[in-house]
Amino acid sequence: MVGLAVAIVCAALMGFAIQRGGTCLVAAIDEAVSKRTINRLLALAEASALVAAGMVTAQIFGILPMTPHAFALTGWTIVGGMIMGLGAYVAGACVFGAIARIGNGEPAYFLVPLGFFLGCVAALRLGMTRLPHIVAAHSPVLADALLFAGPLLAIAAWRLWHTVHAVRRRDFAAYVWSPHVATGVIGVTFVILFLVVGAWNYTDYLAEAARHMGSRLSDRGLLLLALFGGALLGGWTAGRIKPARPTAAAIARCLAGGVMLGLGGSLVPGANDGLLLLGLPLLYPHAWVAFASMLLTIAAALLVQQRATMAREPRLA
Q: Average pLDDT, whole number, for the chain?
A: 89
Write the DSSP symbol of residue 277. I
Residue 237 has pLDDT above 90, yes or no: no
β-partners of residue 135 are 70
Neighbours of 234 (CB within 10 A): 28
pLDDT tens digit sequence for 86-96 = 999 999 999 99
pLDDT in tens, 148-202: 998 998 988 887 787 777 656 655 555 567 888 889 899 999 999 999 988 788 9
Look at 89 and 216; give whichever has higher pLDDT: 89
| Whole-prediction pTM | 0.92
Residue range 115-144: mean pLDDT, rounded: 92
Distance from chain centroid for Cα 21: 13
- 7 phi and psi angles, rounded to 5 deg: -65, -40
Q: What is the mean pLDDT of residues 282-299?
A: 96
DSSP 8-state code for residue 70: E
Is the pLDDT at 317 greater than 60, yes or no? no
What's the pLDDT tens digit per position in 246-279?
999 999 999 999 999 999 999 998 888 889 999 9
What is residue 169's predicted lDDT score, i.e. its pLDDT?
A: 60
How much is the pLDDT for 71?
93
Query: At 292, is the pLDDT very low, low, confident or very high (cuts 50, 70, 90)?
Result: very high
d(CA 85, CA 66): 29
What would the DSSP string read from start to end of 92-156? TS-HHHHHHHHHTT-GGGGHHHHHHHHHHHHHHHHTGGGSS-EE----HHHHTHHHHHHHHHHHH
